[in-house]
Amino acid sequence: MERCFVILSALITVAMLMNEPVVADAMEGKRKDMEACVILLHGMGRTHRSMATMAAHLADKGYRVVNLDYPSTQASIETLSQGVVAETVRHCRLEHPSVPIHFVTHSLGGILVRQYLQAHRLPPGSRVVMLSPPNQGSEIADLLKDNFLYRWIMGPAGQQLGTTAASVPNRLGPVDVPVGIIAGDSTLEPWFSSRVPGPDDGKVSVQRARLAEMSDFLVVHKSHGFIMNDPEVIAQTAHFLEHGRFKRGE
């Protein structure tokens, strides 16, 4: 019975991927003299469309927004980081060499930025907001890593997100940039959540989203797959990019 649920979940993911084309997408803010560029990185098995609402909001704020589309299921974390992430940063720097370059990431996207920052530095004033990042790995990756459909659909990066000491998230060192993390504690996938200790969003536990060096941390009552579209999350993301902290109640 459990294997049936795993296969069903994987088939649903396949259907989602087949319905979304791989299209590079870039948006510029309304004010061309805005100080910062913001690079958006979607999660595994998703496309730039999943970050479109976030991109539109940040563009309305005046940021130059690059809503990056990348082949998340076709290469390793190292390859994706050294390729599409590094190239996008270079593109932003060519246009405006000294301005801050922010990142807003979902899930796997946060690990790509951490990988990139192991060997690179961002301009002063740059900040990173991570949504539901598996910063200490995910028990769901442990559970599914030997499943044929999971390996076929999620590719090399899907094998690197486990909770062991040898996994990529747990091998990465600290990053030298202010990081704000938003984790979810609501789930639409109770079968997966039952395999994750403590509060979780259906894929990543609240505890495993944390980084020792993070500047701020926020928990919202949202699920993994939709956290990036929540109005509160979008507003908090914009607040952190501007102030380096999340907005707290008065």
Query: Domain segments of the chain: what residues?
Result: 2-243
pLDDT at 174 over 60: yes
12-to-18, 41, 56, 102, 184 alpha-carbon distances in Å:
10, 22, 27, 32, 21
Asked if 241 and 247 touch (Cβ cutoff 8 Å), the reply is: no
Q: What is the pLDDT averaged over residues 41-64?
A: 96
pLDDT at 17 over 50: no
- Which tokens belong to 112? 């790509």
User: Residues, the chain, total?
Assistant: 250
Q: What is the pLDDT averaged over residues 161-186?
A: 97
pTM over the 0.85 mark: yes
The lowest-confidence range among 20-24, 170-174, 223-227 is: 20-24
The pLDDT confidence band at residue 33, using thresholds 50, 70 and 90, is: very low
**Number of Cβ atoms within 10 Å of the Cβ of 157:** 24
Distance of alpha carbon 69 from alpha carbon 240, whole angstroms: 23
Place of tokens 């999971």: 150
Domain spanning 2-243, CATH class = alpha beta
Q: What is the pLDDT averaged over residues 176-185?
A: 98
The lowest-confidence range among 3-17, 207-221, 222-236 is: 3-17
Distance of alpha carbon 119 from alpha carbon 102, whole angstroms: 17
Asked if 5 and 191 touch (Cβ cutoff 8 Å), the reply is: yes
C-alpha dihedral (182, 188, 189, 194), degrees to nearest 10: 70
Asked if 79 and 137 touch (Cβ cutoff 8 Å), the reply is: no
Give me the chain's average pLDDT, please.
88
DSSP 209: G
Asked if 224 and 204 touch (Cβ cutoff 8 Å), the reply is: yes
The pLDDT confidence band at residue 97, using thresholds 50, 70 and 90, is: confident
pLDDT at 9 over 60: no
pLDDT at 130 over 60: yes
Q: Which amino acid makes up residue 64?
A: R
Please compute, for residue 211, the number of CA atoms within 13 A of its CA located in the half-sphere on the CB side: 28
Query: pLDDT: is 204 or 95 the higher one?
Result: 204
pLDDT at 120 over 60: yes
Distance from the Cα of residue 157 to its chain's centroid: 13
Query: pLDDT: is 153 or 250 the higher one?
Result: 153
